[in-house]
Structure 1
Amino acid sequence: MTAALAAAAIFGGTGAVQAETPAEFYQGKAIKWIVPYKPGGGYDEYSRIIAPFLEKYTGARVDIVNMPGAGGMKGANEIFNAPDDGLTIGIINGSAMVTNEIAGIAGAKYKVADYNFLGRVVADQRVLIVSTQSGLNSFEDLLASDEPVLLGATGLGGSTYVDAVVVGLVMGNNQKVIHGFNSSSDVRQALLRGDIQGMWGSLGSALNGIEAGDMKVITHDANKGIPQAPDVPSVFEHAANTDNPARSYEILATWDALSAVGRPVATSPGVPEDRVAFLQKAFSEAMNDPEFVTIAEDTQRDISFLDGNSMKLIARASTQMKPEVKEIFVAAIRGEI
């Protein structure tokens, strides 16, 4: 090959290198999608119904990889510390990752605000459910219990754990939190077996058990109520009966703000901006695809999509707590409450 031909091959005869577009980069590649919990839970189910549509809009194959451990932190670390090529993404337990970070939990090898967010799948509606065989018919029954009520949770720092201990502290619940389950689905199985009496979790994950008559909601975080339990008061209503309602409201409002972080999808820091923008656009198209929306409705999976840039702002804001409130959350996350 002559020097002129070689130059033409390299520069395409234009005098400038032809850059590979993100669409060209992703075409035919494999994207690894990390799920920080084992198969069968809500995070896994969301991931598996989104994946085909992300394939549609990226041109890549999406491989779901379950990576449970440390209340979702193992998977979050894997996403954050992945190579910066944009081929590793994943769904994150946003509120749990924020609380782990502010508490300085050992093993949290990420900074929430530094993820490249593709967007948010859903902002979790938090509910306290009990087994219909538990003997508890209302939150008042829990408050009046002479024996500690057994609540199940995932690992320290996980949202099911933080929900239980923070609300328990505010309300003065007589409870014992059994933690260390690998996923919320494991906690629900323990609930159905009668090993525990209740658990905090997302409404979406609890719907099947509620509709089957195996579980019931006894309180929640929705000021305007929830359709599945319209007559059940929220924790904010119960807080009016505490010794210091103003303090209770302030703690609960901070706790509720963590739910707004929800379940975001992200890739690692350092991914080229054009690839991040391409993934954000593909994720937005996937989440708004009419067929996907229908599948989510049919599988009773709530969707409250938020774009990547808006998600980044919420993630940053969620770490800003008053020092006295932060102390409570740090203590809760570390298992000191």
Structure 2
Amino acid sequence: MFRLPAVLLGAFVALSGFMGDAAAETAAEFYRGKVVKLVVGYGAGGGYDTYARLLAPHLEAQLGATVVVENRPGGGGNLALNRLMTAKADGLTLMLINGRASTVSQLVGTEGVRFDLTRLTVLGRVTSEPRVILFSAASPYRSLADAQGSDRVIKWGAAGRTDSLASVAAMASTALSLNSEIIMGYKGSKEAGLAAIRGEVDALVLSESSAAKYAKGGMVIPIAVFGRERSELLPELPTVFEVASLEDDAAWWADYTEQLTKIGRIFVSTPDVPEDRTRFLRQAVQAVLEDPQIVRDMASQKRPIRAETAEQVEQYISGSLAALDEASLARVRSVVLEKYYPD
């Protein structure tokens, strides 16, 4: 069997290391002075838009590029994600997506969905936040017991059927046996929150950071966390398990919601980004999200960072997509897509 002389082998290893360094330098040089689009699939002023705009300057510093936030609302973020799938695979288009909602859209086969999360270039998780049920102060409800005992239809604000506003509302309504109807058409959490303030809808489900924001004026009232763990931002707020009696079947909906929620708000790019640029982008994202000062600054604005690596996020996505048997998947499809919508 032929063996390379030790001197040649050492030279080969050194050359390999040099080539790896050169590739990283090439990626850094590629981004220097470029314009990177950071797409948000929701309207301005909502939670995703806020996170994107707060983090964009820090990404600029890491990439050496100008990062421009673009809002492309529609379809609960699905339309922008569809476009990302076919955008140029040069690593210059990033998107901050609702990983939970996107996974649900793909899972239930939402009409018009043309993306595949397993093909996207995942860059890392910004945060994962528990979901909070809130009632409008203009509604007659001040507790889950009020809602559960009401014959009146409870109207929930949402954008599209599989966004987090709608799908969590559907799962919560099923778990709590609520007489609900989901009203679509609001362009993200900001519009849905304003609709609740105006009394157009009775209820909505928000991330803990958005819930804390909208609760300040007293026009929207946080009721409970839809899960087993309390919110760090709203520590006095009980969970649904503390204020409602949930049998195993009902509890499943809250537990599956928590599993999906782990995916969180994630940075992604197009499929097939060159490997050296993927490594560079992932390093830049992690450097931002693990910077102690940035984490403190975001926390002070009630926009927590709970970072996870790209590899861990990919595991969350693949695990959630493969978690349901046929019977469970059919049940989720029925609840998410059909049960709470007018004929």
| Matches of 1:93 and 1:282, distance apart in 2 | 20
Deviation at 1:290, TM superposition (A): 3.5
Change (3 A) 1:240 1:324: farther
Residue in structure 1 matched with residue 102 of structure 2 by the alignment: 97
| Aligned residue among 161, 170, 173 for 1:165 | 170
Residue in structure 1 matched with residue 297 of structure 2 by the alignment: 295
- TM-score, with structure 2 as normaliser: 0.87
Do the aligned residues in 2 keep the contact of 1:99 with 1:330 (CA within 8 Å)? Answer: no
Deviation at 1:157, TM superposition (A): 1.1
| Matches of 1:80 and 1:71, distance apart in 2 | 16
Superposed CA offset, 1:69-114 (max 9, x none): 0111011112222111111111111111111111112221111122
| Matches of 2:339 and 2:107, distance apart in 1 | 15
| Aligned residue among 73, 78, 82 for 1:77 | 82
User: Which residues of structure 2 form unaligned runs of 5+?
Assistant: 1-21
Residue in structure 1 matched with residue 256 of structure 2 by the alignment: 254
Amino acid at match of 1:299: Q
Do the aligned residues in 2 keep the contact of 1:117 with 1:308 (CA within 8 Å)? Answer: yes
Cα-Cα RMSD: 1.8
Residue in structure 2 matched with residue 305 of structure 1 by the alignment: 307
Do the aligned residues in 2 keep the contact of 1:49 with 1:292 (CA within 8 Å)? Answer: no
Do the aligned residues in 2 keep the contact of 1:100 with 1:333 (CA within 8 Å)? Answer: no
Map 1:133-172 → 2, pairs under 5 A: 133-172=138-177
SS at 2:118 equivalent: helix
Residue in structure 1 matched with residue 336 of structure 2 by the alignment: 333
| Matches of 1:173 and 1:192, distance apart in 2 | 21
| Matches of 1:229 and 1:64, distance apart in 2 | 29
Change (3 A) 1:213 1:319: same
Amino acid at match of 2:314: K
Instruction: Note if 1:123 corresponds to 2:115.
Output: no
Amino acid at match of 2:330: E
Q: Percent identical across equivalent pairs?
A: 30
Map 1:1-337 → 2, pairs under 5 A: 21-226=26-231, 230=235, 232-237=237-242, 240-241=245-246, 245-320=247-322, 321-337=324-340
Deviation at 1:256, TM superposition (A): 1.7
Deviation at 1:334, TM superposition (A): 2.3
Do the aligned residues in 2 keep the contact of 1:49 with 1:295 (CA within 8 Å)? Answer: no
Do the aligned residues in 2 keep the contact of 1:154 with 1:181 (CA within 8 Å)? Answer: yes
Deviation at 1:234, TM superposition (A): 2.1
Do the aligned residues in 2 keep the contact of 1:35 with 1:65 (CA within 8 Å)? Answer: yes
| Matches of 1:168 and 1:115, distance apart in 2 | 32
Change (3 A) 1:236 1:327: farther
Do the aligned residues in 2 keep the contact of 1:209 with 1:215 (CA within 8 Å)? Answer: yes
- TM-score, with structure 1 as normaliser: 0.89
Superposed CA offset, 1:221-260 (max 9, x none): 242323565554423345634xxx1222223221221111
Do the aligned residues in 2 keep the contact of 1:156 with 1:180 (CA within 8 Å)? Answer: no
SS at 1:306 equivalent: coil
| Matches of 2:297 and 2:222, distance apart in 1 | 25
| Matches of 1:97 and 1:226, distance apart in 2 | 23
Superposed CA offset, 1:30-58 (max 9, x none): 11111000111000000001100011011
Count of matched residue positions in the alignment of Structure 1 and Structure 2: 317
SS at 2:223 equivalent: strand
